[in-house]
Amino acid sequence: MPLSLLNDLLYCNRRAALKHIEGWWSSNEHTLLGELNHEHADLPGFEHRAGWKLLRALPVWSDSLGLSGKADIVEVRETRGRITEARPVEYKSGRKSKWINDHVQLCAQALCLEEMLGISVAEGFIFHAKSQQRTAVEMNDALRAETLEAITRLRVLLDSSTVPPPILTPRCEGCSLHEICLPELSRARHPNRLFTVET
């Protein structure tokens, strides 16, 4: 399963299904800004900074979890040619978000790195391009449990091959698939049901 799809799932499970089951994709200002901010991180290579080796666009995977993807940056430290510390860094175009989806995506990268490298990953970072700040994310038991639960939910969704019905939420306005999903029409499809609105 694509690791990045966990972020979509926690943003909206219908969005995840539209992308992976039906193959829809669309851009908006948020996705375009994200692509611009990823330009440097998406160039494979490495550099050294403050005692860490920075690996850019590193493929990551977990056979046990059935995940694969790419980490924007993984900062590593080596002892005698072996990686002994690693921390993933995820680039985001906006400011710090109150949603948990970015943290889960980062934690999934950490779980992949742990399986790949045979080490424990204690923390990672989310770099917010708008504020030019990094937020440290602890890979604690609660976040790990939430990530594993999201992986299970994603697997069930994809195995079902069913796209969930639209639910109008405040996040719909910023979604790149808004004009494909058309959640405002959910009342027209279900004339006896009011909009379901999440806050």
Given a cut of 70, whether residue 4 has pLDDT beyond it is yes
Residue 17 in any domain: the answer is: no
Residue 183 in any domain: the answer is: no
How buried is residue 164: exposed, middle or buried, by Cβ count under 10 Å (0-12/13-18/19+)?
Answer: middle
Residue 197 in any domain: the answer is: no
Distance, in Å, from the CA atom of 43 to the CA atom of 88, rounded to the nearest integer, reads 16
Range of the domain at 73: 5-11+23-162
Number of structural domains in the chain: 1
Residue 149 in any domain: the answer is: yes
Residue 70 in any domain: the answer is: yes
Average pLDDT over residues 131-143: 94
Residue 191 in any domain: the answer is: no
Q: Which of 15-24, 27-36, 67-76, 162-171 has the highest mean pLDDT?
A: 67-76
Residue 175 in any domain: the answer is: no
pLDDT at 170: 84
Per-residue pLDDT tens over the stretch 102-121: 999 999 999 999 999 999 99
Q: What percent of the chain has pLDDT over 90?
A: 51
**pTM across the whole model:** 0.79
Residue 132 in any domain: the answer is: yes
Yes or no: say if 43 and 57 are a contact pair by the CB < 8 Å rule: yes
pLDDT at 198: 44
